[in-house]
Amino acid sequence: MSFESLGLAPALLRALAEQGYAEPTPIQAGAIPVVLEGHDLLAAAQTGTGKTAAFALPLLQRMASTEAGGKRRPRALILTPTRELAAQIHDNLRDYGKHLRISSAAIYGGVSMGPQVQTLRRGVDIVIATPGRLVDHMQQRTIDLSGVEVLVLDEADRMLDMGFLPSLKRVISALPKQRQTLLFSATFAPEIKALAMQFMHAPQEVSVTPANSVATTVSHHVHPVDAARKRDLLLHVLSQDSRRQTLVFSRTKHGADKLVRQLEQAGLRAAAIHGNKSQNARTRALGDFKNGRITVLVATDIAARGIDIDQLPIVINYDLPMVAEDYVHRIGRTGRAGAEGIALSLVSHEESGLLRDIRKLLKQDIAINEVPGFELSTPLRLDAQAPRPKQGQRQARPPRQGGSHRPHGHAQQNNGGEHAMGNRKRRSRGRRPAAKA
Ligand code: AMP
């Protein structure tokens, strides 16, 4: 299978060759012809499968092959849950479309509206937006969506999880009925199907990864360790190969910051990325990580969602996630596009139940190996009584100083979506702690 055989235009083929993409990934092979034929598409694919190019390439081709006609209103709208994803999709569109004359703009919260308004006023072909900020532009009448021919809902499940359904409905109702709609989601939960039924026209389905599966090139390892010794074990592991870029997951923002301070004290170059960090700080941390200025990036689940880092060799779970599905999302950052990856989790006795959930979800064994010198005082237990951290339990977190820590207005704008988790209805994920991360 080649990109040529999918019917892509020479200008796109050239850009793909320059990117070093040799052949389409399965989602690209499945989705691109369907989109080029003009059908609506329901695609089950998670980050790491090459899903962005699966919609970006045929979208660029369509934009390039048809006339804009009249004033330059956006002709395509891509909705995505987080700023980071919006920025990355924008980067990818620029890379893939470098030999075409298609303009695009990323519209997300956390930065001032002014420059976005000016860009929109000048006219762009493709808008990549987070739902909250887009609704703000609609309210201020700084965006005209009446010319949208193609709508892409990226990570639709995550947008619903983050409470964006009302914004989505509002945006979609402002779009022309006659349009092509592409919906990408890691899972096809009933809510996603309902969204598709309501807003799509006879969609074709493409599914490349069974829901909740991870790349087969990832090997999973667990080091059991007492909670009090996790930090030392992490330093030990990192010291084995300090040149490697390592993404470390922490369950809480406070825990992420604390860990970064400890890593820095130990002489490592580290930064944290989470919802309390400003957009600038997050972009800088991600940039520093990508160019190697820092070697350890400590992230919370929501902040890390969708961060696009090529071929990360190892992901470490400093804490296990409270919800097993988040393990799959975390691990999606390694073992991409055929590369080998390692997922290493440091698991204390108190997290035994979470490990049990993950093993059940993965339907595969995870190698559990004690590290000499870090033996557990209370062994893990993986039976039905396996303990799990209490709801909302934070590790070594000081008591909160009065008041609510929920933001007002669009949570996504103020806090990169992280707090929206605290607000959302917990439909099927009863165990997720309130106000996590
Ligand atoms: P995504 O699932 O869109 O987040 O893409 C995951 C990663 O795979 C990104 O870093 C892409 O640049 C990369 N990628 C996408 N398509 C291909 C391909 N056909 N060959 C190699 N890498 C790819």
Of residues 383 and 91, the one with the higher pLDDT is 91
Q: Which of 41, 54, 4, 34 is nearest to 337 (CA)?
A: 54
Q: Please tell me which residue, 143 or 213, carries the higher pLDDT value.
A: 143
CATH code matching the domain that covers 218-368, chosen among 3.40.50.300, 3.90.470.20, 3.30.9.10, 3.30.1330.10: 3.40.50.300
**Predicted local distance difference test score (pLDDT) of residue 207:** 83
Mutating to test ligand 1, I would choose from 23, 47, 52 the residue with most ligand atoms within 8 A of its C-beta, which is 52
Of 224-238, 306-320, 346-360, minimum mean pLDDT range = 306-320
| CA of 52 relative to ligand 1 center, distance in Å | 7
Residue 310, helix vs strand vs coil: coil
* CB 344 within 8 Å of CB 237: yes
Mean pLDDT highest for which of 37-46, 183-192, 382-391?
A: 37-46
Q: Residue 283's pLDDT band (boundaries 50, 70, 90)?
A: confident
Q: Each residue of 358-367: pLDDT tens digit?
A: 988 887 778 8
9, two tokens: 């235009």
pLDDT confidence of 385, banded at 50, 70, 90?
A: confident
CA 48 to ligand 1 center in whole angstroms: 6
DSSP string, 193-249: HHHHHHH-SS-EEEE-S-TT---TTEEEEEEE--GGGHHHHHHHHHHHTTTS-EEEE
Radius of gyration of the chain (CA): 22
Tell me what the pLDDT averaged over the chain comes to: 83
Which has more pLDDT, 152 or 419? 152
133 pLDDT more than 50? yes
Q: Which residue would you say has higher pLDDT here, 91 or 301?
A: 91
Per CATH, 4-207 and 218-368 having the same topology is answered yes
Q: Kindly state the tokens that stand for 18.
A: 């320059």
- Greater confidence (219 vs 145) lies with 145
Distance 336 CA to ligand 1 centre (A): 8
pLDDT at 419 over 70: no
Q: What are phi and psi of 362, to 5 degrees?
A: -75, -20
pLDDT tens digits for 64-123? 988 665 568 999 999 999 998 999 999 999 999 999 999 999 999 999 999 999 999 999
Residue 51 has a pLDDT of 92
Tokens at 236, concatenated: 């030990």
Pick 429 or 73 by higher pLDDT. 73
Enter the CATH code of domain 4-207: 3.40.50.300
Whether 405 has a pLDDT exceeding 90, the answer reads no
- Mean pLDDT of the region 325-347: 78
pLDDT for position 67? 66
As a whole number of angstroms, the distance between CA 339 and CA 209 comes to 17
33 CA from centroid of ligand 1 (Å): 18
Q: 151 pLDDT exceeds 60?
A: yes
The domain spans of the chain are 4-207, 218-368
Q: Looking at mean pLDDT, say which of 41-50, 107-116, 295-304 comes out highest.
A: 107-116
User: Which of 80, 206, 336 is the pocket-test mutation for ligand 1 (most atoms within 8 Å of CB)?
Assistant: 336
Read off the tokens for 307. 């961060």
Q: Which residue CA neighbors atom 19 of ligand 1 most closely?
A: 24
Protein residues with CB under 6 Å of any ligand 1 atom: 21, 24-25, 28, 47-53, 308, 310, 336-337
Q: Among 265, 186, 203, 255, which residue's Cα sits nearest to residue 227? A: 255
- With a pLDDT cut of 90, the percent of the chain lying above it is 56
- The mean per-residue pLDDT over the stretch 332-338 comes to 64
Expressed in angstroms and rounded, the spacing between residue 398 Cα and the centre of ligand 1 is 41
183-220 confidence digits (pLDDT tens): 999 878 888 889 898 999 999 999 875 444 555 677 89
